[in-house]
Amino acid sequence: MGYYVTVEPTVNLYVEDLNPTGNKTILFVHGWPGNHNLFEYQLNQLPRLGYRCIAIDCRGFGLSDKPWDGYDYDRLADDVRAVIDAFQLRDITLAGHSTGGAICIRYMARHGGHGVKKLALFAAAAPSLIQRPNFPSGLKEQAVLDIISGTYSDRPKMLRGFGDMIFYHHVGPALQDWIFQLGLQAASWSTAAIAKTWINEVLFDDMAKIKVPTLILHGLNDRVCLYPLAVAQNKGIRNSVLVPFQQCGHFLFYDQMEQFNKELIDFTRN
């Protein structure tokens, strides 16, 4: 069932809440440039196993409001806090993919892990998506600048190019088109603003503040958030476990769907 949560006086987020009487709760935060529907093959399976699944459309994406600003990690983490408070969530697993994973890491540091019992990171864009003088493991900054310029000049073409990077296994045109349409549901300004946040922000100090058990799932063939990012997360987050996925790209919940769901279920149950 869908709800709207007010996170600022003029900003409302769309939130899907499935099986609200479930005995374990997972809160999903999607990656760029999609929305909560990227977790379709978790949202249509996990509630059958007794889970309550809550999935957010981040500001600027999906069915949520699309303000001009507020796309830094602090504000996005505060949006997650507003949802957790609105639903009075406790002892949840907070789960984030790609940029959503970065938002979850900032949430854990900024809000002291309020309401969160476990953290799950899927191909997270942390501690830095791009290379830096002290971190040579990310994408080159120019790759992100190209995304930003492509967003402003020909966003559909940019999204098509991004879609060519996210899978290891071949997927058919129907799935490619569906993901493309999810990207078009976002505002162009929010699409560009998040890419700018990748350049402007890092999460090295945030990782050290995480105190809950953390699962890190990452494809060895990820061409967006390169696998060394997962290694850095594992080193920087105490009590974390890294599970590498063979023959798997950035959208690991499609490339290795069965393994992805199994690892997440095992982590939340144990």
- Tell me which amino acid residue 15 is: V
Quote the CA–CA distance of 74 and 105 in Å, as a whole number: 10
8, 33, 112, 218 from 121: Cα distances, Å? 26, 17, 17, 8
In sequence order, which residues have a C-beta less than 8 Å from that of residue 176 and are 6 or more positions away?
163
66 φ, ψ (degrees, to nearest 5): -125, 70
Quote the CA–CA distance of 31 and 117 in Å, as a whole number: 21
In sequence order, which residues have a C-beta less than 8 Å from that of residue 179 and are 6 or more positions away?
34, 38, 163, 166, 251
Residue count of the chain, please give it.
270
Report the SS3 class of residue 112.
coil
Alpha helices in 111-217, H assignment, sequence order: 141-163, 173-184, 188-200, 204-208
By the 8 A CB rule, do 144 and 127 touch?
no
SS3 content of the chain, % helix, strand, coil (to 5): 45, 20, 35
First to last CA, the chain: 28
By the 8 A CB rule, do 34 and 61 touch?
yes
Task: List the catalytic residues.
Answer: 98, 222, 250
**How many other C-beta atoms are found inside a 10 Å radius of the C-beta of residue 205?**
10
Pairing of strands 2-8, 214-219: unpaired
